[in-house]
Amino acid sequence: MKSILIIEDDVSILRGLKDNLEYEDYSVLTETDGRKGLETAREKDADLILLDIMLPGINGFEICRKLKKEKPELPIIMITARNSEMDKVSGLDTGADDYVTKPFSIPELMARIRAVLRRFAVSENDPSDDYQFGNVRLDFKEYRAFRSDKEIRLSAKEFEIMKYFIAHESEAVHRHDLLNEVWGFEAMPTTRTVDNFILDLRKKLEEDPSRPTHFKGIRGVGYKFVP
């Protein structure tokens, strides 16, 4: 049975989510305070977190940022009434795996939960614990990256992008595919999000970012990862 932690300060929404999730055979933990929610997320082995942004104690952005550093493999779906483009971008930048705005339908939320859990499930397409290309080594077990034997910092989202690229190496990958498969958002404010992440990966992993050999741009489509 999968376990879901809900961190939401609106008690009526919290109760409705809990009832519906338990009806779908999920085990449910709940917290209404940001600090207590962060503590519970650290102590309990939840399979997924439903996280509100506006919380007492610590806001959802900060909770997501802290958890993704400590538990990058823990999927987080943000649930909020805030629907601006900047809020969605902020959610992405802190590592959220999906973003649902209120009001939402329960069937839609359940579908998003199933989709995120599928993405994080171990699949035969996932890379092995260690993957090497050029002078780069990626340790997917410890989420560590090395270039010329010197450790460099990659975010959890950058590791997820690399997993997707490795599973589709030497294939043309559309920006929208990356958005859907890595971030899981059905409607994104802009595909520039992908371009910015690829630019950062080039700076970190390419010998000459201005003349990339591994992260090839394909005009009008997206990118191709060439190991």
User: Above 70 in pLDDT, residue 89?
Assistant: no
- Give the pLDDT of residue 101: 83
Does the pLDDT of residue 92 top 80, yes or no?
no
**How confident is the model at residue 189, as a pLDDT?**
47
Per-residue pLDDT tens over the stretch 112-153: 898 888 777 644 455 567 899 999 999 988 889 999 989 999
The band of 162, judged by pLDDT with boundaries at 50, 70 and 90, is very high
The pLDDT of residue 87 is above 90: no
0.95 cut: is pTM over it? Answer: no
**CATH class, 130-225 region:** mainly alpha
Q: What is the 3-state secondary structure (H, E, C) of the chain?
A: CCEEEEECCCHHHHHHHHHHHHHCCCEEEEECCHHHHHHHHHHCCCCEEEEECCCCCCCHHHHHHHHHHHCCCCCEEEEECCCCHHHHHHHHHCCCCEEEECCCCHHHHHHHHHHHHHHHCCCCCCCCCEEEECCEEEECCCCEEEECCEEECCCHHHHHHHHHHHHCCCCEEEHHHHHHHHHCCCCCCCCHHHHHHHHHHHHHHCCCCCCCCCEEEECCCEEEECC
Right CATH for 3-120 from 3.40.630.30, 3.40.50.720, 3.40.50.2300, 3.20.20.70 = 3.40.50.2300
Domain borders along the chain are: 3-120, 130-225
